[in-house]
Amino acid sequence: MKITIRDRATNAVLATAADPSQVLSFEGHWYFAPEAVSQSALKVTSDTYTCSYKGTCNWVSFDDGSRLTPQVAWVYLSPKAGYEQIAGRYGFYAGSRLTTIEERE
């Protein structure tokens, strides 16, 4: 199964993975390996969120040069013990959301 996450406003691909090793389903969200995301358009910000059990993540914004969409994804660079499988992966909400669209093939 191929999973693609797109920016709702521009339809730009933010992340796509057909190889199961590139995407992880965890807690109802998708966690994409860095090589499966659009590194040139996704920018890790200094804005953070702290989860009591996973640790602190940084929000990721989409910037296509003409518009900025904040908080389209998140990344745990150093999650707490027991959550190492999501370290460095870009998290996206599953399904279609206000700013993103999920496609499955």
**46-92 pLDDT, tens digit each:** 999 999 999 999 999 999 888 899 999 999 999 999 999 999 999 99
Residue 35 token pair? 């090589």
CA-wise closest residue to 38 among 61, 71, 58, 9: 61
Burial degree of 64 (CB within 10 A; 0-12, 13-18, 19+): middle
**Rounded to whole angstroms, how far apart are CA atoms 60 and 1?**
25
- Look up the pTM and report it: 0.94
Domains in the chain and their CATH numbers? 3-104 (2.170.150.40)
Residue 15 confidence (pLDDT)? 98
Q: How many CB atoms lie within 10 A of CB 71?
A: 14
Residue 95's alpha-carbon distances to 18, 44, 56, 59, 64, in angstroms, are 17, 22, 23, 18, 22
Residues 3-42 have pLDDT tens digits of 999 999 999 999 999 998 999 999 999 999 999 999 999 9
Count of CA atoms in the C-beta half-sphere (13 A) of 49: 12
Q: Does residue 101 carry a pLDDT above 90?
A: yes
